[in-house]
A and B are shown apart, each in its own frame.
Chain A
Amino acid sequence: QRVEVPAEVIVDPKFSSPIVNMTAPVGRDAFLTCVVQDLGPYKVAWLRVDTQTILTIQNHVITKNQRIGIANSEHKTWTMRIKDIKESDKGWYMCQINTDPMKSQMGYLDVVVPPDILDYPTSTDMVVREGSNVTLKCAATGSPEPTITWRRESGVPIELATGEEVMSIEGTDLVIPNVRRHHMGAYLCIASNGVPPSVSKRITLVVHFPPMITVQNQLIGAVEGKGVTLDCESEAYPKSINYWTRERGEIVPPGGKYSANVTEIGGYRNSMRLHINPLTQAEFGSYRCVAKNSLGDTDGTIKLYRIPPNAVNYVENFEARHKGKKRTKSSESHHPARAQEHSGEDMENPGKRKADLSLGAESIDSIYGNSAAGSRRRQDLGGVLLLLLPVAVAVAMSLATAGVMRETQMTLPPQTLTHV
């Protein structure tokens, strides 16, 4: 017998081109396209390879994943769409034609995630003692894995352990051994992986150290009847209180012929100046500039001596000769000086000596407390401003509605009206 050949000839379908891999950021839509030639009566399906999940068959979405969609153009271009993609959508996807044997090809969807800095184990603001070792840590997530770069704020270079200075350094850990006061400041940890936006975190490094005094001129001569200025420089953090004392430890009183001021030079440096005008016999002698903070105290000594009015030439020559001298004193050597001070006291009045010491302590504490109170006042003002804004808006709205109330002739409890 002869079998009749059907008129229609079915051609085997094939893929016209490979699936183009796609890279998309998390949260956006992704598309994978499968181009088929001579599909005929066959069907096209999309699957997720690693989870072996059927996604679509022809125009039907099989999965209940609401983010999956399918579209085709003339049964040739079959585009699967994934909305609002997540990182878990990353992987291989298969386009399949139900020939026998079946044909398939795969495409890769890469999901990239912008960097995000983790709160842990990233370092927070640090307060350390000078001389200790510091490690600033920064950890970030993202896809691809982000690169961590450290910088200092305002273009200040970073000093490496080798002493070399660089503008930036890569790595999750920034190690600063034997931290010094000039390391103090804001450090920026910058995480980037090529997917915008890059993120950064600001970590403040505070270095605590006891006060240090530098005296440019330790011996100053002046003519009686004229004015003179004594000058000291101090370094300290936390910020120190600075004042002047005479030989016996009494604090130089502000006002009158004495005028003292403290000027901030840098982040932790201050300039102390004491003006004395006019000079009498009582003002000549030793002066001590003192700096004190929670970690210790130190002082510098300046000796003021009297020059006769008729020795002008000698005075100029003397100043030029001694100008280059410097004296630096640390807090460790302060106690021997104080001991010496005690030996100089008048032994006839022991009660008076105790009174002097206690009064000095009170005055120091009160001055220190004053600056603390100042900072508190600023915080209170900020809080009040925050409260003012919503209250003002509420009052304005209530006034507007009050007008509407009159038109509608509505009556409210008198207590409420009083408040409005």
Chain B
Amino acid sequence: MRWRHAVRATFTSTTATESSPLIGKVISNSRAPQIAHEMLVEYFMALLVIMGLTAPVDKQSRRSSQYFGHLAAAEELSNLIPDNYDAIDPVFDNTTDREVIAALGTTARLHCRVRHLGDRAVSWIRQRDLHILTIGIMTYTNDQRFLARHIDNSDEWVLKIVSVQQRDAGVYECQVSTEPKISLAYKLVVVTSKAQILANRELFIQSGSDINLTCIAPQAPGPYTHMLWHKDTELVSDSARGGIRVESEQQMKTSNLVISRVQHTDSGNYTCSADNSNSDSVFVHIIKSEQHAAMQHELGSRLLLPPLPLLLLAVLLVVLLGPTSSLQIRTPLSTR
């Protein structure tokens, strides 16, 4: 009985002890938000007062600026943007040929077009060794074969290479000095082109005959090739004497020279030349009339020869056919 009572007392005191932390917890939870809220309100009110008081010193403008603070801020922002700000970036015109074929010893031109250049510079660089060639219209390299060409107010900047050499073949870069740079690569191909006359180096033509010379330049660069004929140092034309005709196909890179009934005065060195190509020459010799008569005689003697073999054949046939027929008749009779 006494023990049971002691147990009850223990439970009661434990319960009382446990409840007190809960009460404390509730108080602390409710108190903190209220304190924070009051402080925040006071903080923001103080900030508003300070902002109002930092207006300009002028009494009149001070009142108005409190109401038009946004306008003042906008004005300040506009002052930060400079009027001459160049926002357009340069851009390449990609329609120019990026691969240029030039014949050895000729002049090559690389065309670079840039729009909205502004205050940037256009430069040409040889990519092989990073050699700077030109900047703007100034030539930097001391290789005098490289030149810059530009017409004022145009978008085109040209690199001109005079007397192209085989070592000039490679990639060239048109560069604009933006940050980072923009550039366009060009490829220069150097070809060795040579016109070719389809004939022996020396021709011997009978007087009164016709001459037909054909010249081709298949490797000449470009879609069309203009070809010319020279006799010694003079351009061949119809006006020199009648009976001369030049037929050229620029697209086929072919040219024919036809001279009718050659005379002794037609002897000479004939040269064919084509654009961006080396020329070719043949020497024509006109043979005199005596040689002409001798050749006719030879032809005549040849005409007499054919009949004789035919006669011999006829005789042989008659001789061979006779004995054969008689032998065949006798053989059947002897067997009977």
Contacts and interface: CB of A to CB of B under 8 A. Distances in A.
Nearest to A379: B32
A384 interface: yes
B143 A100 contact: yes
Contact of B179 (A42, A64, A377, A398): A64
A43 B140 contact: yes
B130 A401 contact: no
Counting chain B CB atoms within 10 Å of each CB, which of A64, A363, A377 scores highest?
Answer: A64
Interface stretch (A169-177, A287-295, A334-342, A385-393): A385-393
A373 B14 contact: no
A65 to B, nearest CB: 4
A317 interface: no
Counting chain A CB atoms within 10 Å of each CB, which of B18, B50, B130, B180 scores highest?
Answer: B130
B25 interface: yes
Interface stretch (B39-47, B75-83, B198-206): B39-47
Contacts of A255: 13
Nearest to B31: A380
A41 to B, nearest CB: 9
Nearest to B47: A394
A25 B309 CA distance: 108
B135 A57 contact: yes
B288 interface: no
Contacts of A45: 132, 140
Contacts of A100: 141-143
A34 interface: no
Interface string B14-58: 100110011011001000100110011011011111100100000
Contacts of B271: none
Interface string B99-129: 0000000000000000000001101010101
B289 interface: no
Interface residues of B, number: 48
A387 B40 contact: yes
B140 A52 contact: no
Question: Which size bracket describes the interface of A in this complex?
Answer: 35 or more
Nearest to A408: B59
B264 interface: no
A401 B173 CA distance: 67
B35 A384 contact: yes
Contacts of B263: none
Contact of A54 (B18, B21, B135): B135
B43 A387 contact: yes
B85 interface: no
Given A47-B130, A99-B142, A398-B50, A391 B42 contact: yes
A420 interface: yes
A64 B120 contact: yes
B219 interface: no
Contacts of B180: 51, 53, 65
Given A52-B183, A383-B36, A250 B135 contact: no
A63 B143 contact: no
B245 interface: no
Contacts of B40: 387
B209 interface: no
B295 interface: no
Contacts of B141: 98, 100, 102
A401 B36 CA distance: 25
Counting chain B CB atoms within 10 Å of each CB, which of A51, A254, A255, A373 scores highest?
Answer: A373
Given A45-B140, A52-B173, A387-B40, A250 B10 contact: yes
A370 interface: yes
Contact of A64 (B7, B142, B177): B177
A377 B35 contact: no
B130 A98 contact: no
A47 B49 contact: no
Interface in A269-285: none
Interface in A355-413: 359, 362-363, 366-367, 369-370, 373, 376-377, 380, 383-384, 387-388, 390-391, 394-395, 397-398, 401, 404-405, 412
B96 interface: no
Contacts of A102: 129, 131, 141-142
A373 B21 contact: yes
A304 interface: no
A101 B145 CA distance: 12
Given A52-B183, A57-B135, A387-B39, A394 B28 contact: no
A204 B158 CA distance: 67
Contacts of A420: 46, 49
Interface of B: 7, 10-11, 13-14, 17-18, 21-22, 24-25, 28, 32, 35-36, 39-40, 42-43, 45-50, 53, 120-121, 123, 125, 127, 129-132, 135, 140-143, 173, 175, 177-181, 183
16 contacts: A51-B181, A52-B173, A53-B180, A64-B177, A253-B13, A373-B28, A384-B32, A384-B39, A388-B39, A394-B47, A398-B46, A401-B49, A401-B53, A404-B53, A416-B49, A419-B42
Interface of A: 42-43, 45, 47, 49, 51-54, 57, 62-66, 94, 96, 98-102, 104, 250-251, 253-255, 359, 362-363, 366-367, 369-370, 373, 376-377, 380, 383-384, 387-388, 390-391, 394-395, 397-398, 401, 404-405, 412, 416, 419-420
The 7 A-B residue pairs with the shortest CB-CB distance, nearest first, are A394-B46, A100-B142, A65-B179, A370-B21, A380-B32, A64-B179, A373-B25
